[in-house]
Amino acid sequence: MFDKYLIVDGTLRNTGPVDAPDGFAFDAKLGYYRGLGLSMVEELNISIDDEAVDRTAVRFDEGMGPIGLDAMATAYDRRWPFGQAATILVTRPGGFPKGTHTLSLQQKLRVSYLPFPSFNNDRKTVSL
């Protein structure tokens, strides 16, 4: 749902010192017609040119401070509101690779009324 809107256009940036970035970040929306507690966002799978980023390198921040995927699983008092962009941070020495690349985001959501997980996928060609 809302697949093509998940990665927010024009938000990709490096993080850390300008001359020695320690990672990159981009804004993303939740692919669902309502907001959801962070504990039910099971995975944020990120890949660059179809090469998966290690999940321990990924952090999420809806405005309450960066949190890793493992910690999200028990963040019962935090929510990702409908339609609101959150920041996804990826630790990667050197930042986002130079040139044009495909950035992919897959969200795996635990929706209580569905018997199976819900997946949303976006792929965008980006460059810094």
Ramachandran sector of residue 101 (left: φ over 0; alpha: ψ -120 to 50; beta: rest):
beta
- From the list 35, 49, 52, 127, which residue makes contact with other proteins (rule: CB under 8 A)? 35
d(CA 91, CA 16): 10
CB of 114 to other proteins, least distance (A): 9
43 scored as a contact of other proteins (CB under 8 A): no
User: What is the SS3 assignment for 103?
Assistant: strand
CA geometry: angle 120, 48, 36, nearest 5 deg? 30
d(CA 114, CA 122): 21
51 vs 76 by CB, closer to other proteins: 76
29 scored as a contact of other proteins (CB under 8 A): yes
Applying CB under 8 A, the span of 15-23, 53-61, 70-78, 88-96 interacting with other proteins comes to 70-78
- From the list 9, 20, 34, 94, which residue makes contact with other proteins (rule: CB under 8 A)? 34
- From the list 79, 88, 95, 107, which residue makes contact with other proteins (rule: CB under 8 A)? 79
84 scored as a contact of other proteins (CB under 8 A): yes
Largest Cα–Cα separation, the chain:
48
- From the list 13, 22, 42, 118, which residue makes contact with other proteins (rule: CB under 8 A)? 42
22 vs 43 by CB, closer to other proteins: 43
106 and 119 in contact (C-beta within 8 Å)?
yes
